[in-house]
Each structure stands twice: as structure tokens, then as C-alpha cells.
Amino acid sequence: MSYFSPTSADEAYALVGETGARIIAGCTDFFPALRAGEHHDPIIDLTRIKEFRGITETASGWRIGALTTWTEIVRSDLPPAFRSLQQAGREIGSIQIQNRGTIGGNICNASPAADGVPPLLTLNARVEISSQSGRRELPLQAFIKGVRSVDLNPGEIVSAIHVPQCADDLKSTFHKLGSRTHMVISIAMVAAAIALRDGRIAEARVAVGSCSPVARRLPDFEVRLSGMTPEQVATLEIVANPDLSPLSPITDVRGSASYRLDVVSELCRRAVLAACEGN
Amino acid sequence: MDSVPLSSNVRFRLNGQDVETTVGAGERLSETLRERLGARDVKVGCNAGDCGACSVLLNDETVCACLVMTQQAEGQQVETVSGLVHDDPVAKGLAESFQDHGAAQCGICTPGMIVSATALLRRNDTPDEDAVMNALGGVLCRCTGYRKIIDAVMKAPSHLAHGGNAGAAIRRLDGRDKVAGVEKFGDDVAPPGTLEIRVIRAPYPRTAFRFGDLDAWLSRNDGMEAVLTAADVPGRNCFGVIPEFADQPVFAEEAARFRGEAVAAVVGTPEAIRAFDPGTFPVEWTELESALTVTEARAEAAPLLHEGRDGNLMCRGFVSCGDAQGALRIADITVEGAFRSGFVEHAYIEPESGYAELVDGRVEIHACTQAPVMDLEAMEIILGVDRSQIRIVPTGVGGGFGSKLDISVQPYLALGALKTGKPVRIAYSRTESMQSSTKRHPSELKVKIGATGDGRISGMEFSGAFNTGAYASWGPTVANRVPVHASGPYRTADYRAEAHAVHTNCPPAGAFRGFGVPQSAIAQETLFDELAERLGIDPLEFRVMNALEDGVPTVCGQVFEQGVGIKACLEALRADWRMERESAEAFNAAQTGSLRRGVGIAAGWYGCGNTSLPNPSTIRAGVRADGTVVLHQGAMDIGQGANTVITQIFATVLGIDARRIERLGPDTDITPDAGKTSASRQTFVSGNAARLCGEALRATILRHVNAAQTAELEFGNGRVRISGDGEVHEIALRELVRDEFGYVFCAEETYNPPTRPLDENGQGHPYAQFGYAAQMAVVEVDEALGTVKPVRFAAAHDVGKAINPMLIEGQVHGGIAQGMGMALMEEYLPGRTENLHDYLIPTVGDVPPITTYILEIADAHGPYGAKGLGEHVLVPTAPSILNAITHATGVRMRSVPVTPSKLREAIKGKNNDG
């Protein structure tokens, strides 16, 4: 049984190919899921790999290293489109969780209630996957295949998230609904990114989490929003079909399926309006 | 490559010192700190990042030590509360401020709170409330209601008194150890390396089971030293807090009656237990048909849980006076409703834990408890030995709220120590604690209340079914208490109330702050609002009109000639009530969105002490030859403050400062029985015993020199100086004979509250005193989402005499936070909410400002007039919130918790109807 803490990506690639290797980073999902007597061998701790950490501006947009913690994201100076991601970061668990939990871990854990995912979907985020044999990239929506299921082969590591350049006037917001203030698993959440030009919505991106196995964008709704004024949004009737048709909420201890659909329309309206106002 | 094999050395800086230790692969930093580096100030409450008790600073950032792999700390800087409070000026300041505000009650969350607050204050020394809430949002507290913690971090002015006598707001006498992380809780006693116990629990609500070859299993598993089953119980495999109902086995035999019930336990080295997967234990389960609700359990074909309890009916409580049916018939209006509530989990942050060893052939059990002598009595039966062979040494208690009245870990510890002959320890995981500990009883209530046109109550009928789970625990107490209290503190001449406790295949429901009264208050207090509305009378004035008064009989026919304080409580809220109602109506009139404000009021009462049963407390005190005054303080302090309050009462009577008294705790070898910490009885009953003991000790000393009654006493340097009436005496203590306890003066006194049995109609004198309460809640409802945000509470409590006003406020705040949880978010569902992220309790961001009005309507029986308070504080909270929701939205919620999902559905229903 062994614990490895590689300091470079190349060392990590060599290690993760081993059978049964368990990759860890912030451990905020790893430890809570650990059953009594459960052991992993080997454990590959990525947290010392500098290449996988930090936020940088690139020629095509932004690169967020997979090991970047929520606290680092919250404290970074980023364009307004990232505001929803930063707001989500502030609502993930608690300060304790934000200080350790990483953006890469959040998407690899593939929880339907991952707060980071809806904002990343509105940013058209792409997942950078690295291994000994090279690098591939795919859209976040394609990377998360289902509940606790991601498109990651043995030997591969999520090394970064790429966010393509977006308009400077794309402003975003994140609304989370839970039964208490802190440390709460979302009943539903909405991220909206809106560019308002000449008083009308020129670009709209809306994503909903906790209402389907994987958080989803709402393409029909986004099309409907296009060209609307905020006043029109305020009185807009958001309907289950087609606006919310990608969603398939379940009933659980946090709320019923019908409740989720019901409040999501209200949360969508509020998030879009708040994004229109730039906050 | 920085590759580290299984057991490797890790080096980091801990509280400014370089440390190096060997750790196992994948070990949690919390475990390394506690078990390898002696940092027991790091508390473990959940091992899942849900409670924040284990918060430490890692390179200046707050982290949960349970979510950090120790190897990740290599070369880093780790700081824990004990180091911070010792070395860091910011943390030192917090330690003082926490004590000045009463911000630590049980103290189990305090390390996490102080660590988190230190990280905040290092960056921002004048944080606003939002910043504090954000910084502390990751640490759960179940005692304080958080407001005192916010005050402490923001350095709000404190209101401490100078003297230490009864009536003075002084710091907790045991507070220093709590803020420094020094207090030892249940899991902090065992030396590292002690053998550990892991319990094997039933995976189904009802299941038959058969063990495989246990001896073979044991011999195959290195490091495992023993397996314990029912066959290892030398005495009776049975316990229960009420002897005539005792029915719970230490280990189930052949079949288990609830999910999480113990069937066996293994004892092994820490390494063996860490590697142990309970799924590999040789036991075969056969799930059986179960009954989980009262309806299912009462059905004809339902499995019978206990022989002799036909229809799964455990017991019934009944109170009747006047002619309820007749009064309801002639009432001008009647209202009625069916109400339900679910299991509520105590959710103390300290899971059940302890340590045991054999000393000179006796079993010594160190564990968290609310009732050491009851533990002793239970263990005497289980072990089949005389009680002289057992010693119960209570540890610090990280919250109890009723559930730690029942034994939990004690038998496993004793049996483990006896079978292995070695010291053993156990700490429940959070899930084990939630699965196996007692809960608040789910209730199904049917209530009908009538009133005359001019607003007088005219008849009330109450029928309640309580799901008491698989075993009796305190179910009989709930069944008895509820009918006595269900009228609320009102003049109700014609009344009929019955309560049934029904067995199901659920965890045992037992004692939880209020013993069923919070459930019944929800029904009665919300129906009162409906009556008031139908009558067009202001809800507060309606309650004032009907409030009990001196000389008016209760529903049990008990007449108090003095001390009935409910009217005063309601009147104390009148100004706030009018202001808030007006302001809410103005707020709603101005609203264009979906927010609605509402203001609700509710009242409550609670009888202090056991219902019509003896419940004596004994307190002993002595003076040592060196002049030290020693108080044997046997009233378990579970955070509420008995260590301070009982000492204040004793000191006041004796005539010295409470802070000069040395306290000895409720160790059963050295301290007499002060009864259980339950039923809001310690300030009243043990307080009286302390008063009598102080009087006796003082009288003995005065008699020694024939000094005047008013003389002043000074102890110290081997002398007592007695001065008064112009005379001064000195007693040289070293010249006096020492008694068996080593004291030169000693006193021991007992108090038992005067009660009378209830007859078949529940008529009698169930309690020597009641305490009274009224609370007002202001809430904001988002009608579009169904969310409820309390924005303010005002609470008026008649405590007879506030022995320590700061601790009173602490009780009120904590009770309101628990009442809020019950009203809005908490429901324990076996198998579904067995952790602290699916079972939600309020966080620091959820509890709004609370205004506390302390009223002192002295009670003739109470020490200095004091009444109990611990349970009264949450009785009115949930109904006040429900009434506020109705005021805001017009919908009447009759099932708690009122989750956003449920409230939104009700609001939509109302809109569709309208």
C-alpha cells in the first residue's frame, strides 16, 4: 500500500495508470464517502503539482488549473462573466471546504448538486484531460456523463478547465436554493450569464443544477430570452416545456420533483434579471 | 519523486513546534493530531466536513482536519486552538471574549469556532456580522444559538457582574478549559493505543440474524482481541431508564427491532479497527416485515415488538377535568385540526464516546452522560454485580439535550474491559450516533378547542399518538407529560387529553428538551391563533385573557397560590408585538415582489422535575484543613451551566464568592447523587439542595463559635474568620478533627420537590413549580420559493429568579435555535438522513437577533425563587414561527418541519383556491 505525492505532471501520469490508483486532491469528497474499513491503494495526491494549479489568461481565454481551490477562485480578479462561478465558490460548503476543495474535484465527483457546474456550463467550459499519451479536451457537458460518472479513462487526469474568451459585457450571477444558509446541498441552483445591449438581451446562457442527473443548459429558454428587455423577463411566464425541458428533477429529502420545477422557473427569472443588472 | 510508502514519517510545524510522526497511508490529519501528537483539543464530530469541530489552521487558512490527509501537511504549518489560545494575541482575546459572553456552553464546538474566528480576525479585525457569519458558517453549534458567539467575535460589550452571588451574570466557572481546548470530553480520556470497540449494527428496521463461527473469525483477524455478544452479558441483557418499562437489550438476541440496533461488537487494536470492514463480520441477516409508523404498528397484522404490549401500545397518559365535550358543544366557535411532526435528532456535536478500565477489580467507566447514577444503576443490572464494583466518572459532555440520559456506550465499554482485561475505548461515528440514539417522538395529534364569543376558552379535546420506536426509553414520560401540558398555560376548565405511545421498528424515541410538550404546543398554540382570528381578537390579547393566574386551577386541578408568571411574559412582549405587527403590515403593503413578513406569538409552560415522582438531589460540601471550601457538585453540566449556577447558589448562602469554591464533579465514587440533568430540574432541585447544604455548613461553622446568624465568613490559610456584631472569631482548622472525606466541617443535604400522584383522571399535583414563557417570531416568507427566514425573535421567560442572567440568555438562544430547526428544517428519516449534511440543523447564518426579557415572578419552592428553564425555551418557538408564517401568507401549516417544498405547495394551494 502506498501514498504518492508527485511534484510534476509527468510523474503523475506514470503513477495513475496503476490498477486501483485513487487520485485525490482537496479530499472534501474523498473522506466523506469513505466507508468503514475502506482502503485505497495506491493513493496519488496531485496537490503538489504546480502545473495543475492557478488561473491564467491564455490566447483563447482562461485556463483554470484543476487544483485551483474555490478560495483561490473567489479571491481572483476575473471578468464579469466569471462572477457566477465566484458566487458559487462562496456557497460551496463552508470556508473550510472552499479552502481545500478544487474545481477539478468538483467536476470529477460528478454530483448532480455540484455548485461549480452550472456556472462553468454558462462559461462554455471545456475540460482538459492529460495522460502519458497526450492531451484531449472536451466540453464539460460531455465530460460529465451522469451521476458520479465522467469520461475519464485509466491513466488520465483532469488537468485544467478552459474557458473560451467571452464578451466583456457578459455578466453573470448564481442563485442557490437550500434549506439553510451555510453548508447546504442545493435543492436547485441557477447560473445565468447575460449580455445586455441597447436594453435588450443580446446573449443569454442559463444553466440549472440539482434538477437533473447532470446540470443542464436551457437552450430553448436562452433563445426565447434573446431580444427581450429586463421588463419583459420580469413578467415572462417560464414553462416546463420547452423552457425547462432538459430538466428531470427527482423527489428526495430536500424537495419534491414538482417543487423543483416550480421554483426553478422563479430562480431562472431572478438570475436572469440579476445578471441583466450586472449583479 | 516525492513518493511515500505506507507508514512513513511526516514532518510539519504544529503550534510553532517542529513535529515528526509516523502515519498510515490515507490517515486523516485529525486522527494524527489527536492520536499521535496529543492534540486532543481538535474535536471530531462527523468526519465528513459537516460540523467543523475539527477546524485547524493550515498555513493560516481554516480547514477541517478530518478532510486533510496527513501527508498533505508535510512541511506545512498547522495551528490548533490550544496553541492559538496560548500564543496568538488574537486567539487569546477571543478566549476572553468567549467567556465574557457565555459563547461556550458545552464547549465541543468552541475549538472550531475560535480557530475559525482567529483566521477571520487576522485578516479583518473589525468584521461586520455578515463577515462573522461567513467565517463561522462551517462550524455547527447545537447549544448557543450562535448569537453570543457572534457577539464574542465582534467584541460587543459584555454585561458581566462584579460579584459572584446568585443573581449575578458571571463567567462560567468551568469556561477557561472550554475555550483553551483543555476540557476532556468522552473521546479525550483514553491513552493513545488503547483497544477500540466497534459495534455491529442491524442494517434493516427489523431483522433476524445468525452469527457464523465467531471464534474462527477472531482467530483469523490479527489485532482483534474479542467479540462481544449477548452471551457475554453477565447480568441481565436489558436496560431502560424507567425500571418497570426496561426492555432494551445491550445486544439484540436472534432478532433486531430497529435499523442500527447493536447485535455484537468487536474489540481490537486501533490498526485492526481502522482496517475493519463491518461488512466482513460473520453474521447473516434475514430482513423481516417491519412497522415504521403508528398506523402500521397499530394495524392488526403488524408484527408485535414486545410481548405483553398488545397492539404495540406501550402506555397511555390521561388528564380530564370538567366536561370537555359539553363545553365544546355549547362553545360559540370551535376550531380543530390534525397535526404531525417527525423524529428530531439531538445532533449534539459530540458523538457518544468513552473509555473504561479495570482498577483493583472494579470497572471504571469514563463517558459522556447526563445521569451518572442512573448509568451506575443500569450497569449494576447489566453486569450483575454490586454497585460498589462500578465507578462512573462523567467526562465533559459535548451536548446532551435529553439523549445522553439513556446509556449508550457504557455497556460496551464495561464488557470490553471485562472480557479483554485491558482498557478499552469507543467513539460512535456520526451515523452510528444518529442511528442508535434516542430521538424526539414523532407525533400525530388531533385537537379541538372551543371558545365563547367574548373570547374565553370553552372546552378542549386532545388526542395524541406518539411513535415511541422500538424500545420504551422515556416514552412513558412523554405520554404522561403531554396531557398535563397540552392545555398550555391557560384557564381550561373543561378538558380531556390522552396520549398514546406506540412501538414501531424505528430508533427509540426518548427524552428531547420538552418531552413531547413542544409537539403538543404546536397544535394548541396555532389553534389559539385561529380562534383569535375567528373572534376578531388580537392573538396576544386573546392569550392574556385566558392566561392562568395565581389561584386558578390547572387542568390537573392543581392550584398555585403564587408564582404563575404567564401573563407577565405575554405582557412583556406587548410593545414589541404591536410594533412588529404594524411594521410587517406596512412592509407587506409596500411589497411588489413575493416577500411577505409575518409576526407570530406563542406561549408555553413546563413543569420542573419528574411528573408526580420523587426526584431528590443531594449536595455535599466540606471545608479542608487548609481553608479550602469544596463543593461536590453532582448536577451534570452538559453546557447549560449547572457547575456555575449550583455553585453560585451554594456560595451565596454560605456567604463567600462563588469563584473561590473548589468544585468536585459528579464522579460516583466521591460525589452524592444530584439526580439526572433532565426535566429542567437542576437549578430548582439541585439548587435547593445546594442552598440547604450551604445553610447547614454555615450553621455548623457559626455554631462552633456561637457567632451571630449575620456574621461574615472568610476562609483561607488554614483558618475561618467569622466576624459580625462587633465580634471576630477565628477557627484554626488544622486543629480540628477530619472526617471520612478529609473535611473539618462538612454538610450534606437533600431536596425533593413536593408533588402528589395523579389519579385516574390525571388530577393531582404533578409538579411543585412550573416555568412560563412567551415568544414572538418575525419571519420573512418568500412566497414564490416557499422559504422562511426568521428575522427576529423576542422571548419573555419567567425564571422566578435569574441566578445567572448571562446563562439564562444562553439557554433562551439555544432553545430558540433548536425550536427553529424543528419548525423549519429538521426531520430524521431512518436510512435517509443519518449524517449532518442530509439532516440539517441551523447554522450561524440562520439564527436572527433575539431579544430576551427575563421576568422574575418568584416561586415559593425555588432557591431564591428560581424556576427551571432548560426546556421552556423551545416550547413556544415552533408555534410562534408557524403563527408568523400564517400571518405572512394566510396558510396554516400543520406538519413540521415546514420545508420550502411543503410551504410552497400550501401557498400554491391557497392561491388556487382563491
Q: Do A100 and B47 touch (CB under 8 A)?
A: no
Residues of chain B with Cβ-Cβ distance to A24 below 8 Å are 69
Shortest distance between the Cα of A273 and any Cα of chain B, in A, equals 13
pLDDT-based confidence at B7, cuts 50/70/90? low
The interface residues of chain B toward chain A in range 126-145, judged by CB-CB distance below 8 A, are: 133-135, 137-140
Q: Which domains does chain A have, with CATH numbers?
A: 170-276 (3.30.390.50)
Residues of chain B with Cβ-Cβ distance to A93 below 8 Å are 49, 138
Instruction: Pick from A1, A3, A250 the residue to mutate for testing the B interface (most B CBs within 10 Å).
Output: A3
Shortest distance between the Cα of B104 and any Cα of chain A, in A, equals 21
ipTM summary value: 0.97
The answer to whether the CB of B143 falls within 8 A of the CB of B811 is no
Shortest distance between the Cα of B63 and any Cα of chain A, in A, equals 4
Rounded mean pLDDT of B831-848?
A: 97
CA distance B396 to B636: 9
Residue type, A268: C
pLDDT at B208 over 50: yes
Residues of chain B with Cβ-Cβ distance to A70 below 8 Å are none
Shortest distance between the Cα of B913 and any Cα of chain A, in A, equals 18
The interface residues of chain A toward chain B in range 178-197, judged by CB-CB distance below 8 A, are: 179-185, 187
Give the right CATH number for B443-610+760-913 from 3.40.50.300, 3.30.365.10, 2.60.40.10, 3.40.50.720. Answer: 3.30.365.10
Q: How far is CA B405 from the centre of its chain?
A: 10
Q: Cell 447480568 maps to which residue?
A: B235
Q: Do A182 and B844 touch (CB under 8 A)?
A: yes
So what's the pLDDT on residue B25?
79
Among B280, B824, B843, the residue with its CB nearest the CB of A182 is B843
| b/e code B724-745 from CB counts within 10 Å (16+ = b) | eeeeebebebeeeeeeeeebbb
Q: Which of B457, B470, B420, B57 is nearest to B223 (CA)?
A: B420
pLDDT-based confidence at B107, cuts 50/70/90? very high
So what's the pLDDT on residue B488?
98
Q: Which three cell numbers stand for residue B321?
A: 377535568
So what's the pLDDT on residue B5?
45
Shortest distance between the Cα of A60 and any Cα of chain B, in A, equals 33
So what's the pLDDT on residue B848?
98
Is B5 in the A-facing interface, judged by CB distances under 8 Å? yes
* DSSP assignments along B735-767, one per residue: GSPP-TTSEEEEEEEEE----B---TTS-SB--
So what's the pLDDT on residue B913?
61
* pLDDT tens readout for residues B776-826: 999 999 999 999 999 999 999 999 999 999 999 999 999 999 999 999 999
Q: Which of B730, B796, B814, B685 is nearest to B104 (CA)?
A: B814
The answer to whether the CB of A271 falls within 8 A of the CB of A170 is no
Q: Cell 466541617 maps to which residue?
A: B745
So what's the pLDDT on residue A1?
58
Residues of chain B with Cβ-Cβ distance to A255 below 8 Å are 899-901
| Radius of gyration for chain B, computed over Cα atoms and rounded to the nearest angstrom | 28
**The CATH number of domain B617-751 is 3.30.365.10:** yes
So what's the pLDDT on residue B3?
43
* DSSP assignments along B781-820, one per residue: EETTTTEEEEEEEEEEEE-SS-SSHHHHHHHHHHHHHHHH
CA distance B558 to B769: 10
SS3 content of chain A, % helix, strand, coil (to 5): 30, 25, 40
* pLDDT tens readout for residues B269-281: 999 999 999 999 9
The interface residues of chain B toward chain A in range 141-170, judged by CB-CB distance below 8 A, are: none
Rounded mean pLDDT of A200-216?
A: 98
* pLDDT tens readout for residues B869-912: 999 999 999 999 999 999 999 999 999 999 999 999 999 998 77
So what's the pLDDT on residue B911?
79
H/E stretch holding B884: helix B877-889
* pLDDT tens readout for residues A58-102: 999 999 999 999 999 999 999 999 999 999 999 999 999 999 999
Shortest distance between the Cα of A9 and any Cα of chain B, in A, equals 11
Among A26, A177, A184, the residue with its CB nearest the CB of B840 is A184
Rounded mean pLDDT of B203-230?
A: 98
For chain B, percent of residues with pLDDT exceeding 70: 99
Q: Cell 431536596 maps to which residue?
A: B751
Coil, helix or strand at residue B727 = strand
Q: Do A2 and B25 touch (CB under 8 A)?
A: yes
Q: Cell 430482513 maps to which residue?
A: B287
Instruction: Pick from B63, B141, B820, B822 the residue to mutate for testing the A interface (most A CBs within 10 Å).
Output: B63
pLDDT-based confidence at A54, cuts 50/70/90? very high
* pLDDT tens readout for residues B504-525: 999 999 999 999 999 999 999 9
Architecture, CATH, for domain B189-290+349-399+403-436: 2-Layer Sandwich (3.30)
Q: Do A32 and B1 touch (CB under 8 A)?
A: no
| Helices B372-383/B410-420 angle, 10° precision | 50
For chain A, percent of residues with pLDDT exceeding 90: 94
Residues of chain B with Cβ-Cβ distance to A48 below 8 Å are 2
CA distance B842 to A180: 7
Return mean pLDDT, chain B. 97
Could you check whether the bond before residue A230 is cis, i.e. omega within 30 degrees of 0? Answer: no
Q: Do B838 and A253 touch (CB under 8 A)?
A: yes
The answer to whether the CB of B102 falls within 8 A of the CB of B110 is no
pLDDT-based confidence at A18, cuts 50/70/90? confident
Q: Do domains B189-290+349-399+403-436 and B443-610+760-913 have the same CATH topology?
A: yes
* DSSP assignments along B218-264, one per residue: HHHSTTEEEEE-GGG-SS-S-B-SSGGG--B-SS--SEESSTT-EEE
φ, ψ (nearest 5 deg) of residue B319: -140, 135
Is A2 in the B-facing interface, judged by CB distances under 8 Å? yes
- Who's near B126: CB < 8 A, 6+ residues apart? none
Give the right CATH number for B33-65+75-181 from 1.20.1070.10, 1.10.150.120, 3.30.1950.10, 1.50.10.10. Answer: 1.10.150.120
| Radius of gyration for chain A, computed over Cα atoms and rounded to the nearest angstrom | 19
Residue type, B450: G
Residues of chain B with Cβ-Cβ distance to A43 below 8 Å are 25-26, 69
A-B C-beta contacts closer than 8 Å? 185
| b/e code B658-670 from CB counts within 10 Å (16+ = b) | beebebbbbbbee
The interface residues of chain A toward chain B in range 28-87, judged by CB-CB distance below 8 A, are: 28, 30-32, 35-41, 43, 45, 47-48, 71
* pLDDT tens readout for residues B737-790: 999 999 999 999 999 999 999 999 999 999 999 999 999 999 999 999 999 999
Extents of the domains making up chain B: 33-65+75-181, 189-290+349-399+403-436, 443-610+760-913, 617-751
| CB atoms near residue B761 (< 10 Å) | 13
The answer to whether the CB of B381 falls within 8 A of the CB of B238 is yes
pLDDT-based confidence at B2, cuts 50/70/90? very low
pLDDT-based confidence at B162, cuts 50/70/90? confident
pLDDT-based confidence at B295, cuts 50/70/90? very high
Shortest distance between the Cα of B907 and any Cα of chain A, in A, equals 12
Q: What angle do CA B710, B716, B718 make, to 5 degrees?
A: 110
Among B26, B137, B277, the residue with its CB nearest the CB of A3 is B26
Q: Cell 429568579 maps to which residue?
A: B801
Is B198 in the A-facing interface, judged by CB distances under 8 Å? yes
- Who's near B759: CB < 8 A, 6+ residues apart? none
Q: Cell 488503547 maps to which residue?
A: B194
pLDDT-based confidence at A279, cuts 50/70/90? low
The interface residues of chain B toward chain A in range 632-671, judged by CB-CB distance below 8 A, are: none
